[in-house]
Structure 1
Amino acid sequence: MKVYIETYGCALNKGDSYIMMTLLKDRGHDIVDSYNQADVIVLNTCAVRLETEERMKQRIKELKKIGKKLIIAGCLVSSQPALVMSLAPESSIVGAQSIDKIVEAVESNKRGIFLEESKELVTPRIFEGKISIIPIADGCAGDCNFCITKLARKKLRSYPPRNIVNAVKEAVQKGAVEIELTAQDTAAYGLDINYNLVELLKEILEIEGNYMIRIGMMTPELAFKQIDEILEIIKDKRVYKFLHLPVQSGDDRVLKLMNRKYTVDEYRELVKEIRDKIPIVNITTDIIIGHPGEDDEAFQNTINLIKEIKFERIHLAMYSIRPNTRSASMPQVPDSIKKERMKIANEVYEEVAYSVHSEYLGSNALVLTTELGRKGSIIGRTINYIPVVIKDYDKLGEWINVKITEASFFDLRGKFIQ
């Protein structure tokens, strides 16, 4: 069969789609680039925010109208199966922790409901371009009050180290130059199998080849427990000097309401230790604006933290109620106030990120080219994972010298140096 897979959400979701592609190709099915070519359409959904859920609902309605076999997979299915079944009563559904059932869903002549946890964790053997996304764990060890993903991926399940190492080895042999190790919380890797992230990274780095590892998001409290060992790993020339540490709020009272397991001062201490040992490190974070309990003082504390720490990148999100989460039952911040705070936070973030990027203007940078950009450009990454848009070079998978000529809050622009 010809199968089209459309993916929304985080890197873990993208990794799940590559796993589904791997399983389907192993059975002799073809993966196609558009639903026009397909016999079967698979929609891999996200449910992290209300606006995302609305987009998913709209997309289900649009794809239903095409009249082809439709399978709905991913986090919206696992967190709100009744909603998905009411929107598409004739479609098969496959939960976020049930993706090994995708073959059965595609090949069956009947509608299937697959929500049981997979018995086997499969690593992907497919990637696109020069970037291979490899999930290392599914689920997390936390219990944040705002999070619907915890309902979709209920249990922490770490992939066997040997499977991950083999997946990386195969990806490198096939030409991948960037390996994205992804999970809901990479620092939680191995808690369920008496192993840990550092041991896994040491095994991976025994693989020879021209590649860079990007370590995915990790919660501050679990990062703290192994930070010295993690930083020793990051010093390796094949690991991006990059850490994604979601702070979520700059106010201790709000962090407590969120059920986060650290204080703002502990987060500051973590960042200081990281920067003392690796000064060029890129610290990226996530922040939720307008979570229940966020008053003017709490919001200002968050703004102050953004200015103080000078994050290179922030994934800012306006809080939205997610069903069946504890935060949904708390007294809510009015939408008008959330929108105003979001506007202020975005402005501050753009100022801070632009000032960080402006420090690179006029300098030369070593950049690994990894992706096609727009209008004939390509995108490379510095050693600390800042994106650089290059218009006068066209080869991917190469380390090149670039003169940084422009900066925005989002990226850098550069010219190839012969």
Structure 2
Amino acid sequence: MKNVYIETYGCALNRADTYVMITLLKNEGYNFVENPEGADIIILNTCAVRLETEERMKQRIRELNKLSKKLIVAGCMSGAEPATVLSIAPNASLIGPQSVEKIVDVVESKDRKILLEGDRAFMTPRVFDGKIAIIPVADGCAGNCSFCITKLARRKLRSYPLREIVEAAKYSIQRGAKEIELTGQDTAAYGLDLGGSIKLTDVVNAVAELEGDFMIRIGMMTPEQAIRIIDDLIEVLKNPKVYKFVHLPVQSGDDRVLKLMNRKYTIEEYKNLVSEIRSKVPFVNITTDIIIGHPGEDEEAFNNTLLLMKEIRFERIHLAMYSIRPNTRSASLPQIPDNIKKMRIQIANKLYEDIALSIHSDYVGVISRVITTELGRKGSVIGRLVNYIPVVIKNENAELGKWYDVKITEASFYDLRGVLV
């Protein structure tokens, strides 16, 4: 049977798509290899969320195309910018993120295939790496943000059947998974395409009822959809099998910029949402995304973002400098000069690091319960607190997939360090 090499970039949903493709191809007897030189077929699962990412994808397509193997370019760049991909690799097959269940057809076709859209068969993965199983709950989202190219690649919201999600989680837990990551572009939008009769919280509750020693991580959700399910969301966050972790991208601290972004909430609504969660879920970790330098962000708007960071004191912030994405509404607006964007992101990064270090420093000297899920550098093991803050354990006796009492000895803005008690 032919050898397949697959390389993946981007978000958890992209990684879940890769696991789906691996599952389907393994079912057909295909063998997977560790390097492209040893493969008959190469699959590149791309990301196009930012300009620098897209440039990296272009370079990687060029490199892989030179190997003269059967090349399949999957992921968001294929879905959103197929002409760009084909201009670099004219003979490559393309498969969009909402067509990944057809990967076997593309691999086995003697001719070039281009499959960018289609009705997904809602296949969930039956493979995972280490102790973390990534399981998609939905593909696509209910929003239409002005800056987002992913919407062009994943055009429709499609919620996976509850039974399929639970079966995938059960399969993974029985094979040693200790973290079930329920992922999607907007997990809180789950069920909107099904008439609203079923919600994300129903999915979390169903997975939490499975037997086994594991934790559930709920993936990113938009504030407006989180507000829609807030009461039920707070209740599932209280479940001992659910990480006290909420990823709520605010994107800007200024209402005028949020309107230009076509975000569907105000800063006051966002602050009320965070306050409601924090008041009812002890130790909860509120993580966010912020775009610096989006069109329309003047000095006042930027300062409003800094003020929001200081007021909410996020445990983690994914900061990104705005970059133009083709065929998006934000690309047509007057742009902020690069030198101003670079200056602003340096200021925002410094503030974020100071706040996060202050928060993490409070853990130093504390003995905390930690579950180990990943291998770190130099023989270390990475575990997670119940609020998903990472802890690097410098002890060769620590095993993956176990709960340990760990004394926190050091803190950085990014993580904690500790030793077994």
Alpha carbons 1:251, 1:302 under 8 Å: kept: yes
SS at match of 2:307: helix
Residue number in structure 2 paired with 1:147: 148
Structure-2 separation of matches of 1:59 and 1:10 = 18
Matched, 1:256 2:250: no
Residue number in structure 2 paired with 1:207: 210
How far did 1:117 drift?
Answer: 1.3
Summarize the alignment of residues 242-391 of structure 1 with structure 2, pairs less than 5 Å apart. Answer: 242-391=245-394
Post-superposition Cα deviations, 1:364-394, rounded to whole Å, max 9, x if no partner, equal 1100000011111110000000000011133
In the alignment, residue 395 of structure 1 is paired with which amino acid?
A: E
How far did 1:64 drift?
Answer: 1.1
Summarize the alignment of residues 125-204 of structure 1 with structure 2, pairs less than 5 Å apart. Answer: 125-194=126-195, 195-204=198-207
Instruction: State percent identity of aligned pairs.
Output: 66
SS at match of 2:74: strand
How far did 1:349 drift?
Answer: 0.6
SS at match of 1:6: strand
Residue number in structure 2 paired with 1:56: 57
Structure-2 separation of matches of 1:327 and 1:26 = 43
In the alignment, residue 284 of structure 2 is paired with which amino acid?
A: V
Structure-2 separation of matches of 1:55 and 1:314 = 23
Structure-2 separation of matches of 1:191 and 1:204 = 20
How far did 1:346 drift?
Answer: 0.6
Residue number in structure 2 paired with 1:107: 108
Structure-1 separation of matches of 2:5 and 2:93 = 15
Residue number in structure 1 paired with 2:16: 15
Structure-1 separation of matches of 2:378 and 2:91 = 41
Matched, 1:407 2:411: yes
In the alignment, residue 40 of structure 1 is paired with which amino acid?
A: I
SS at match of 1:187: helix
Query: Structure 1 stretches of 5 or more lacking a match?
Result: none
Residue number in structure 1 paired with 2:399: 395
In the alignment, residue 259 of structure 1 is paired with which amino acid?
A: N
In the alignment, residue 323 of structure 1 is paired with which amino acid?
A: P
SS at match of 2:193: coil
Alpha carbons 2:98, 2:120 under 8 Å: kept: no
Alpha carbons 2:5, 2:35 under 8 Å: kept: yes
Count of aligned positions? 417
Structure-1 separation of matches of 2:348 and 2:52 = 19
* TM-score of the pair, normalised by structure 1: 0.99
In the alignment, residue 203 of structure 1 is paired with which amino acid?
A: A
Structure-2 separation of matches of 1:177 and 1:116 = 33
Alpha carbons 2:128, 2:134 under 8 Å: kept: yes
How far did 1:101 drift?
Answer: 1.6
How far did 1:268 drift?
Answer: 0.5
Q: Which range moves more in the overlay, 25-34 or 258-267?
A: 25-34
SS at match of 1:192: helix
Summarize the alignment of residues 87-126 of structure 1 with structure 2, pairs less than 5 Å apart. Answer: 87-126=88-127
RMSD (CA atoms): 0.8
Q: Which range moves more in the overlay, 117-126 or 49-58?
A: 117-126
How far did 1:57 drift?
Answer: 0.4
Structure-1 separation of matches of 2:120 and 2:267 = 39
SS at match of 1:292: coil
Post-superposition Cα deviations, 1:53-110, rounded to whole Å, max 9, x if no partner, equal 0010011011112222211000000101111111100111111111012111111222
Q: Which range moves more in the overlay, 237-246 or 387-396?
A: 387-396
SS at match of 2:194: coil
Query: Structure 2 stretches of 5 or more lacking a match?
Result: none
How far did 1:225 drift?
Answer: 1.3
Summarize the alignment of residues 58-77 of structure 1 with structure 2, pairs less than 5 Å apart. Answer: 58-77=59-78
Structure-1 separation of matches of 2:371 and 2:138 = 27
Alpha carbons 1:123, 1:163 under 8 Å: kept: yes
Alpha carbons 1:99, 1:118 under 8 Å: kept: no
In the alignment, residue 322 of structure 1 is paired with which amino acid?
A: R
Alpha carbons 1:146, 1:322 under 8 Å: kept: yes
How far did 1:36 drift?
Answer: 2.9
Alpha carbons 1:100, 1:118 under 8 Å: kept: no
In the alignment, residue 324 of structure 1 is paired with which amino acid?
A: N
How far did 1:358 drift?
Answer: 0.5
SS at match of 1:250: coil
Matched, 1:241 2:263: no
Structure-2 separation of matches of 1:75 and 1:357 = 35
In the alignment, residue 408 of structure 1 is paired with which amino acid?
A: S
Q: Which range moves more in the overlay, 209-218 or 107-116?
A: 107-116
Residue number in structure 2 paired with 1:33: 34
Structure-1 separation of matches of 2:290 and 2:124 = 30
Structure-1 separation of matches of 2:36 and 2:18 = 15
Post-superposition Cα deviations, 1:351-372, rounded to whole Å, max 9, x if no partner, equal 0111010010010110000001
Structure-1 separation of matches of 2:117 and 2:277 = 40
Alpha carbons 2:131, 2:177 under 8 Å: kept: yes
Structure-2 separation of matches of 1:193 and 1:365 = 41
Post-superposition Cα deviations, 1:307-365, rounded to whole Å, max 9, x if no partner, equal 11111110101001101100010111111100000111111110011101001001011
Alpha carbons 2:93, 2:106 under 8 Å: kept: yes
How far did 1:121 drift?
Answer: 1.2
Structure-2 separation of matches of 1:118 and 1:33 = 31
